[in-house]
A and B are shown apart, each in its own frame.
Chain A
């Protein structure tokens, strides 16, 4: 694998619109710093988390996927975040079967007021993934040969 040592860890964060995305936005407003290579994708609720989209994120360049939703019991859509937690566990099983570390996908819960906690979670997760190392799928010569339709 030909990977430069200063290639940053790439993380995709699926954040629910009502809490986690708002918390991330608040972190921005408060000018809190967290690793820049966390790409946030807003979804209406973590219950909408799509297993295939998480796998595609990992397949096409992400080193890890963060899933962030409302605090348990406070989901805007009642129990979307509970469903998401089960789905994240299932995704971890799939990653293990594939040969990737299950720790590369993780779920976090926070409220929309928790801008500081979002920044801390993002920092902590990025450091955890950095110590795991870049995804073993990363390869500077990797070309996407397969066509896919979502």
Chain B
């Protein structure tokens, strides 16, 4: 899931500074699960902004609404009236949601209420950790299900560096060394041979380095009727 964190109230207030009517738009998917931008958070943010701007001496009219997913047109089309009614949309969806609203409603001013941070999972209630770097070329099959691109600080492909100490990464004593984890996992499954082949330098063109990515599935596209 996408994991994000809410920006400070201070920063959010600066983003909506010149506007009267603010619509906070929450999202019912990833950001609900990480308690950053769900319906409850949207309500809390809207109430906080109403109170805070009142104390500042210029009460803003802040309402909130939450859609199931902010990243698909079908879900953001039905709130057109509320969006058009507002001076500014404060989206607390992930960066994708913010951009979806901005793209679908080109005349609307849209600002982000969250900092979208990483792809990860809740390892325990209240803790989310990064697991995937969306590099476009998944090698989890040979690393025992542990990703060295997302979890190794140096994104190494052929084992740990010299900084790996007691199973921990040198950048942070609380961060496990990904290659230690990979080694331990494959050893416990008697599959260490998987990491014996030397991996060549990674081809990063499938990752961000290749520019903004796009996937097209011709078989899924709506068939265009032949024109007369």
Residues of A whose CB lies within 8 Å of any CB of B are 51-52, 55-56, 58-59, 94, 97-100, 136-137, 139, 142, 145-148, 150
Contacts and interface: CB of A to CB of B under 8 A. Distances in A.
Contact of A99 (B44, B56, B61, B62): B56
The 3 closest A-B pairs by CB, nearest first: A99-B55, A55-B47, A97-B9
B64 A97 contact: no
A98 B52 contact: yes
Interface of B: 8-10, 40, 43-44, 46-48, 50-52, 54-56, 59, 61-64
A58 B51 contact: yes
A59 B40 CA distance: 16
A139 B54 CA distance: 10
Given A97-B9, A145-B61, A55 B40 contact: no
A99 B63 contact: no
A90 to B, nearest CB: 10
Nearest to A51: B44
Contact of A137 (B46, B51, B63): B51
B61 A55 contact: no
B50 A94 contact: no
B43 A52 contact: yes
Given A52-B40, A52-B47, A59-B51, A97 B10 contact: yes
A97 B48 contact: yes
B121 to A, nearest CB: 22
A148 B47 CA distance: 9
Given A51-B44, A147-B63, A150-B43, A59 B52 contact: no
